[in-house]
Structure formats: structure tokens, C-alpha cells
Amino acid sequence: MKINMEQLVAYCKQQGFVYQGSEIYGGLANAWDFGPLGVELKNNIKKAWWKRFVQENPYNVGLDSAILMNKEVWVASGHVGGFSDPLIDCKSCNTRYRADKLIEDFTNGKETGDNWPNEKLVKFIYDNNIVCPNCGKLNYTDIRKFNLMFKTTQGVIDDPASAEKNTVYLRPETAQGIFVQFKNVQRTSRRKVPFGICQVGKSFRNEITPGNFIFRVREFEQMELEFFCKPGTELEWFNYWRKYCLDFLKDLGINENDLQLRDHAKEELAFYSNGTTDIEYRFPWGFGELWGIASRTDYDLTQHQNHSGEKLDYVDPDDNSRYIPYVVEPSVGVERLFLTVLFSSYDKEQLENGEEREVLHLNPFLAPYKIAVFPLMKKFHSEKAMEVYKLLSKEYMTIYDDAANIGKRYRRMDAIGTPYCVTIDENTLNENIVTVRNRDTMAQENVKISDLVEYFRDKLSF
């Protein structure tokens, strides 16, 4: 049985995946804290991405750039002048919207309004009678551009002139840190084009209409790759990374029937792009963007070269040609992938005995706890169970539970996605043999304690 958004929000709070931020003070709109299970799942998603995109991929290296950067970075990238959403208000009820989001919701994603001029957005809204979702009136203000960057200052501020001089921004994306360090990374890693730079990090966007739980938030993490290649080869690499990203999602266990590729139409593309594809997931409200893969040509490095005066071109040792590399950018938000994993994994199963089982069919590598250790009877088996717990916890994230009967403990672990439970009973005391239960099949197997660590190694890998 699938779960809807309201049910998922309640489940996440109940189980310790996600809490409302600042809850005891009434919360803060669209701010969320990740609890004991949530932080583990989130970290495991990032580990899986890093393993697949850096550790196992021969082309890519990693970077961790600063959140605060020289403000000229954002001038060069176009964020200061052009990183904005089309803001529109309903005159009748004063509800505020993103004009492009009104169009996207009205057309169920068939039209997104991305990169449309204001005049086209307004005309589409009125031509298609897209009324205010709150009051049902067709009475909007003119569109105003709203810059999405959070602005702050650094250093001691004594007067308005100093404040302007010391203005910095919380980065709205991690990509620019990669572009400004392109030459340093290429030189120190001794990489030849084609190669990529990967980064996982926080970004901040002052969204007009955040919502759908953690789908669209103002503080989020991105997993981004900027892949640098020779001009003329970019579409080949664009197709390579599009398939690579889709395969990664399938390997995480996300049902491919709930995934689709949406190629951007020519009029949707940014002026510098010659190809963009969104990998979309079927959320309860319909298909929504999960992962964007864009061919950005040489726009980014050219902008920074022109604005900084520093040479960012590359001399190809194979033919001595000099060029500014083209870039292919696959970018995915950690929170959106977190949400996708939960929707894809959650189920309520009807068992043969008539009982209902709540279960999270997570890829074992992603599971917050890999193994649960239970003493069958607390009075007689706890000491041995703790020995097994200490053995396994050196290798895997393990939880110890001795509360309630064994059946209820199994159900608790099923509900949070723990793939294996290890039970200590009389056989353990007499023969050093434990019972291992599989979450998905509920089958049980006897395993020697001395074999446990190796027994789980392949089963919990990615």
C-alpha cells in the first residue's frame, strides 16, 4: 500500500526521520530537522552517491568548497542580476505565488514556464483562465522578479557604506565553487579533460513558495557533478551521465516504473544550454523533478574568466589545442532523493495470518540501522546479546533492543527498514549459533557468531 504526503510526514516524525524545526517555539516555516534515523539515511544516501560517482568512477574527483564566497563570484555567474523567481500576487486574497509554478501545477507539469519572459507567463495564465487556487479569482498583480539569494554581511559593520562593501551571500548552489577552483583541481589532481569534480554541500534559496514537506526547502544539500569535456563531445557525455544517473537510482531500489525522463523543449532551455533532461519521480501529487542533467556548454568558465581576468582555458596535451572546456552538470538534491527513497520503499503488507505489517523496503546500504540484535529473553540472554552487539557495531550501524516480545521487536525494525535481525537464544549459549531474520522475506537462518561479520559483508554493500 502506498503512502500519501500527510501520512509520510506523520510517519517521519513518529519514527524519528524528520521533525519540524524549532518545534517547541511554534516551528519555522519550511525548516526541518533530521532525527536519529533521518540523519543516518541522509548520510547513507550521500555515501552511496559519493561511492558511485567518485570512488568507483575513473573520471571524477571530489571537492568541498566554502559556503561563503567573494560576492563577485555571484556577479559573474549571473546570480546577482538574474537569479530570481517570477512573483505574482492575487489581488483578491493577497496570496503569493510563483507564476511559473501556477502554470506547472495547472498543466500537471506539461508546461513549466521555465525561462519564459514575464509577458508570456501572464498571457498564458489569463488565456488559460488559471484562477487563484486559494480564492478562485482571476485577478493578479503584475509579475515582479524576486532574487532568491540570502544576503548577509561579514566582519564588523559600523556604517551603511561598510555594510555594502562587506555584503556576502549564502550560496544558492554548490556549482560555482567548483568552477572557480577548476584550474587548481585540474593542476593538483593532474587530470586530463574529460574529467569531473564532485561536491556534496549545503545551499540556500529564499523560495517564494516552498512546500511539499522537504521537496522544496530554503536550506538543502546538493550532490553535484561538473563534468568538463572537449567542445563537440558534450552531447555524448550528456547521454552518458543521463544513463549513469538513471542506473544509480535503479540500483538504490527505486522502481523504474515511477521514473521518467523529461527532455526540455528548445524554448525551455537556458540560452547557454544545448540540452537538459530532468529525471522525474511519480510523487503522490504527480511527476516532479528529482534530478537535473544539463549540458551548459562553456558558459560558466567563460563568465568567470571574463569577470576575474584569470585564464581558465585548457591546453590539450594530445593535440596542443587550447579551449575552454564544455560542462555537463548532473545535480540532485539530497532531500528530494531522501523523500523519493521513502516513498519508493514504504509499504503496508497483509500477512497470511491476517495481520498488517508496516515495512520500509530500503536498499540495505541505505538503511539507518543495518542490524538489530535481540536477546530472546532479557533475563537469560542479555549478556551474550551485548557481546554480539559489540562485535557487529564495530563494522555496521547496529541497534540493541530487548523491550517487548520478539514479534513486536521484529515489527519495529521492519517499520524503520532494518534489513536483518539477530536473535540470541539457548542455541547461542550452547553452540554459539544465532538466528538471523531477513526483513523482506521474513525467512530465518542459523549462523555461527564467528561467521557473522563476513556473512553480512556482501549483503550490506552497495
| pLDDT tens digits for range 287-299 | 999 999 999 999 9
Asked if residue 32 lies in contact with residue 9, where contact means CB atoms within 8 angstroms, the answer is no
Identify the residue with better confidence: 155 or 345.
345
**Average pLDDT rounded to a whole number, residues 114-125:** 86
Strands (E), 42-194: 60-62, 84-89, 96-98, 144-147, 150-153, 167-170
332 sits in which H/E element = strand 326-333
44-62: pLDDT as tens digits: 999 999 999 999 999 999 9
pLDDT for position 342: 97
pLDDT for position 104: 84
Measured between its terminal Cα atoms, the distance across the chain in Å is 27
**CATH architecture entry for 5-83+148-342:** 2-Layer Sandwich (3.30)
Helices (H) and strands (E) in the chain, counts: 16, 23
**Average pLDDT rounded to a whole number, residues 431-457:** 96
- Tell me whether the CATH fold assigned to 5-83+148-342 matches the one assigned to 369-457: no
**CATH architecture entry for 369-457:** 3-Layer(aba) Sandwich (3.40)
**For the whole model, what pTM was predicted?**
0.90
Rounded distance between C-alpha atoms, residue 202 and residue 395, angstroms: 29
- Residue 447's pLDDT band (cuts 50, 70, 90): very high
- Average pLDDT over the chain reads 93
Query: By mean pLDDT, which of 45-49, 246-250, 265-269, 297-301 is the weakest?
Result: 265-269
Q: Which amino acid is at 303?
A: Q
The answer for residues whose C-beta is within 8 angstroms of residue 16's C-beta and 6 or more apart is 35, 36, 37, 38, 416
SS3 call for 317 = coil
Rounded distance between C-alpha atoms, residue 198 and residue 180, angstroms: 14
Sheet holding 96-98, edge to edge: 96-98, 84-89, 144-147
pLDDT beyond 70 at 350? yes
> H/E/C letters for each residue in 3-60?
CCHHHHHHHHHHHCCEEECCHHHCCCCCCEEECHHHHHHHHHHHHHHHHHHHHCCCCE
Nine-digit cell string for 172: 544558492
Rounded distance between C-alpha atoms, residue 426 and residue 432, angstroms: 9
* CA-based radius of gyration for the chain: 26
Query: By mean pLDDT, which of 206-215, 218-227, 364-373 is the weakest?
Result: 206-215
pLDDT beyond 70 at 161? no
pLDDT for position 157: 64
375-417: pLDDT as tens digits: 999 888 999 999 999 999 999 999 999 999 999 999 999 999 9
pLDDT beyond 90 at 209? no
CB-based burial label for 455 (10 Å; 0-12, 13-18, 19+): middle
Identify the residue with better confidence: 388 or 118.
388
166-189: pLDDT as tens digits: 889 999 999 999 999 999 999 999
SS3 call for 247 = helix
Domains of the chain, by residue range, sit at: 5-83+148-342, 369-457
Asked if residue 277 lies in contact with residue 264, where contact means CB atoms within 8 angstroms, the answer is yes
